[in-house]
Amino acid sequence: MDLFEAEHNLAEAGSARRAAEFAPFPLSSPAPQWHTPHVDNDVRTRIETAIANNRVILFMKGTRGAPSCGFSGRAVNLLDTLLDNYATVDVLAHPEIRDGIKEYSSWPTIPQLYVDGKFVGGTDIVTEMFESGTLHELLGVPSEKPAPPRVTLTERAAETVRGFLTDPDDLLVVDIDGTFSPSLSIATTPNGAVVLESLGVRLCVEPRAWKRADGITIDYVDTGEGSAFKIDNPNEPPRVRPMTPRELEERRQRGEALRLIDVRTPGEWEVARIPGAELLDADLMADLQELPKDTVLVFQCHHGHRSQRAAEQFPPLGFSRVYNLTGGIDAYSDSVDRSIPRY
């Protein structure tokens, strides 16, 4: 989660509600006092506070789940191999932080890694430390390689995978990134790969994902939009899941209790709205945080991007059933209720 990004809308007294940026950590916490005369005071405070309140923090291009450059992606892969939790800041979304962190660290490139309040370096240094084992030591992570993960395929999943294996050297490659998003692919057996087997199907797991993949079950299931692979991962923390407009409508027709939260602006709300939705403001935000943690929360915006970022604020608060409406109100109008204006 980007520490400086929150796309939900908050109310301000005497002014129109707007998309607000906030830092989900106490700004009053003590921060290291480095002398950085070329950095704006406000930017320096934000940087120092983020560093002080997060033991491991990576200033990068893009997000942990979607790095925007190869160097940031490499740094994320290395950290994901060692840690389940660490903070990131997307400097592309915050140009003042992008410029400020370079001055602050006296380091000209991005990404930049800080651990325990101290600047570690960029991707090259982090890579060298990873290969030498000093990064493990710095992070307090054992340097020995974990045991190969246990992976189970159901009968239907195994049968489906066999249909894709056209060469004797082909196998199923499983990866689970640091945000626990899974991916499956078919590839020639990589050099040095630890080959596993389930129901006669050969597979391997990317080494960085061994810990996150241990104990997973891969199934092949029917959905409302066709058949697809489904991965049950016992290691996965609560996360935001997608919900299609048709699934939302089916759940509501069954009478399922859920809260549909609209994070758009008041102007957009006046143009079009989904019946039963609630427009997010400061009061509603406070009310939501007091709800039982198993409440079904569905977040919605115009196309699904703002609502995804708003929804991501809730799993860290303990909410376990958080969804983002895929495609937003635009997709809902197109596939469920054409009486809702599109704009």
**Co-location of 264 and 325 in the same domain:** yes
Q: How many domains does the chain have?
A: 3
**Co-location of 197 and 175 in the same domain:** yes
pLDDT score at 3: 57
The reply to whether 127 falls in a domain is yes
pLDDT score at 185: 96
**Co-location of 198 and 285 in the same domain:** no
The rounded distance, in Å, linking the Cα atoms of 7 and 91 is 16
CB atoms near residue 41 (< 10 Å): 8
**Domain final position from 108, 139, 170:** 139
Segment holding 212, helix H or strand E: helix 210-213
> For every residue of 231-287, which 3-state class applies, written as one string?
EECCCCCCCEEEECHHHHHHHHHCCCCCEEEECCCHHHHHHCCCCCCEECCHHHHHH
**Co-location of 43 and 122 in the same domain:** yes
**Co-location of 310 and 263 in the same domain:** yes
pLDDT < 70 positions in the chain = 1-37, 145
**Co-location of 206 and 299 in the same domain:** no
What is the reported pTM? 0.52
Amino acid at 340: I
Residues in CB range of 85: below 8 A, 6 or more apart: none
pLDDT score at 35: 44
**Domain final position from 178, 199, 232:** 232
The rounded distance, in Å, linking the Cα atoms of 77 and 64 is 9
CATH code of the domain covering residue 106: 3.40.30.10
**Domain final position from 232, 259, 277:** 232
**Co-location of 131 and 169 in the same domain:** no
User: What string of DSSP letters covers 44-61?
Assistant: HHHHHHHHHT-SEEEEES
CB atoms near residue 277 (< 10 Å): 19
Burial 234-259 (b: 16+ CB within 10 A, else e): eeeeeebeebbbebbeebbeeeeebb
**Co-location of 48 and 132 in the same domain:** yes
* pLDDT tens digits, one per residue of 140-169: 988 776 789 999 999 999 999 999 999 999
The reply to whether 130 falls in a domain is yes
Domain that holds residue 217: 151-232
Segment holding 186, helix H or strand E: strand 182-188
CATH code of the domain covering residue 174: 2.60.300.12
CATH code of the domain covering residue 284: 3.40.250.10
Please choose, from the candidates 112, 24, 118, the residue with its C-alpha nearest in 3D space to the C-alpha of residue 76.
112
Beta strands in 55-181 (DSSP E): 56-60, 87-90, 112-115, 118-121, 151-153, 170-176
Residues in CB range of 205: below 8 A, 6 or more apart: 148, 149, 151, 173, 174, 175, 176, 194, 196, 213
**Co-location of 260 and 215 in the same domain:** no
